[in-house]
Amino acid sequence: MASPNDRMNDDDMAGRGLHDDSTTRHQTPEHVEELHFGDSARGAYYDDDGKPRKRGFFWRFSRAAKAENADEAKTRRESGAAGTAAGTTSVANTVESQPRPEHESRTQTPTEPPHQEPAIGRIAMSEPEPEPASTPARTPVIPTTLTVSGQSGDGTATANHGWTVARKCVTIIMTMVVVAAAGCTSFWMWENRLRPITVTVNGTSVKTRVNTSLITLLNINDGFGTQAGKLLSVSGKTLDEHGGDRYAVTLGNTEVKSSDLASTRVNDGDVLFVKNGKDTTEPHQVVRAAIPFGNDVNLKGGGTIQYVEQQGVDGVKEQWVGEQSKETVDKKVLKEPVNFKVTTKSPNPQDGKKYIALTFDDGPSKYTQDILNILNEKGVHATFFNLSEQGTEFPDQEKAVAAAGNEVASHSVSHKYLPKLSRDDLRKEINDSFAPIEANTGGSGRMFRSPYGAFEAQQWVDSTDLISMNVLWSIDTEDWRRPGPDKIHDAVLGHARNGSIVLMHDGGGDRSQDIEALPRIIDDLKNEGFTFVTVSEMIKLDGTFPQHVMDNQPVPAVANASKDSAASGSADASSSPTTK
């Protein structure tokens, strides 16, 4: 098949009137044969002499070119072997004797040497039918039979030569890629791993390779003559003379941690200083522990109302627990403790009036109703500090007292001396004393008066969450001595002041003298301008007490929760030793 570059055949030219048979004999078309390269057919072109036309650079790699070169080589060998002109003549006669296509006979001269057909790459073709004499030009014959000459040992090309060339090209390209990659890898290894550099260690130049780690440099130079530090316990005792850091290294002006020696790389021109290793503290756990709060209980002020001014809160400290030594050592305070503070003061209303509070202890009893009748008759209220065992025995009297508008508070269960009780017994005594009061009166206040007024610092620490205050007195009538109604009366009137709290009894013995003296006491105090109030009312009139005291409740639970949280602490594990 001809390409667009090929000449038009004679028929085309004749049809278009471009020539006739007499003037265009030399323009006969080229013969076309189909050649098989591998599994595909490609066109090969032959000129009028029967020789393949050379088509440029890729022609030299074609099968036709290989066949031509092989045929010419074979001809030279045969000619050399014959060595005579006779042999050449014989070959020429043989060639001339063979039938020749008409177009060959027209284009060759008698003196022209016979053309040798390629030994391989030619395909047998059907002979064209004789051309009529009147036809000026012939149409090229289309081959009807395709055959491929076989491969022989004389150097002729194989059918797969085209694919062999492609494989060779791919091989060359792959080889070039591999060589380039190997070159790049070698260059990278040289620049980043193998290139020699010089660093200065303790003033001396040392040769090494680029990207060497500090730990490697130190190990191959035996630490430059340095010694390891000691391994110490958390308390500072020596556990191992050479168990500490192996080196102390400074790179430039920066000290390098032991944990960073393996990851730190040296560069050309770096300046290092290597010294003896530092002492190291053994691996340990870091835990948090509570620092118990202290007590600041001041009960010497002489006030009638004792209460918690500031709740105690434990501090927090850091402790180290050595894994090898098993020692536990306090290291630092993370949070300072807040001392528990109890204070005492007397109420002092400042509205220009005089107020006084009557109180009765150890009831209820058979005398309680008589006292209650006097109070109701005089139109005043008082505060009753009852024993819970008495409230259980006389519940109606206790209910009547509360119903009349009086205040009912606790005086313990059975009037025990509280400082002698254990913490658990103390808490039980106080807790149990409020139950009958709540049952009989419905009140939920936590006002308390300790028997004999005995309530010391430890009792405050043990029961701070149970009571709002401990109420004492400023006037003691000593009615328990039974001094007579007049002395009881005079004790009150002789010491009455604004904010005074008077101690009397409605139980615990014969209280007939109190019943006889009480009407005169109330009348005379009124004549002096006093107003009778309960203890809670007196505290509110003062206005300077903490809110939980005015509300008659213990210290808020939030303060206790804060204390518990600080005391519980937490633990953090640390497996790495500490360098000193």
* Catalytically active residues, by annotation: 361, 505
Backbone φ, ψ for residue 468 (5° rounding): -95, -30
Q: How many CB atoms lie within 10 A of CB 330?
A: 11
The label of the residue with tokens 């790699």 reads 61
Query: Contact 212/265 with Cβ under 8 angstroms?
Result: yes
On the 0-12 / 13-18 / 19+ scale of CB atoms within 10 A, 199 is buried
The label of the residue with tokens 């709002």 reads 468
| 3-class DSSP state of 39 | coil
DSSP annotation of 293 reads P
Degrees (nearest 5) of the Cα angle 350, 353, 359? 95
Residue 513 tokens read as: 């003298």
Q: How many CB atoms lie within 10 A of CB 546?
A: 16
Query: Contact 447/305 with Cβ under 8 angstroms?
Result: no
Residue 164 tokens read as: 């062999």
Q: Please, which residues have CB within 8 angstroms of residue 372's CB and are 6 or more apart in sequence? A: 397, 400, 401, 404, 406
On the 0-12 / 13-18 / 19+ scale of CB atoms within 10 A, 4 is exposed
Query: Contact 219/213 with Cβ under 8 angstroms?
Result: no
* DSSP line for 405-449: T-EEEE--SS---GGGS-HHHHHHHHHHHHHHHHHHH-----EE-
Q: Which residues pair with 386 in a beta bridge?
A: 410
Q: Which amino acid, 564?
A: D
Alpha-carbon distance 525 to 380, whole Å?
11
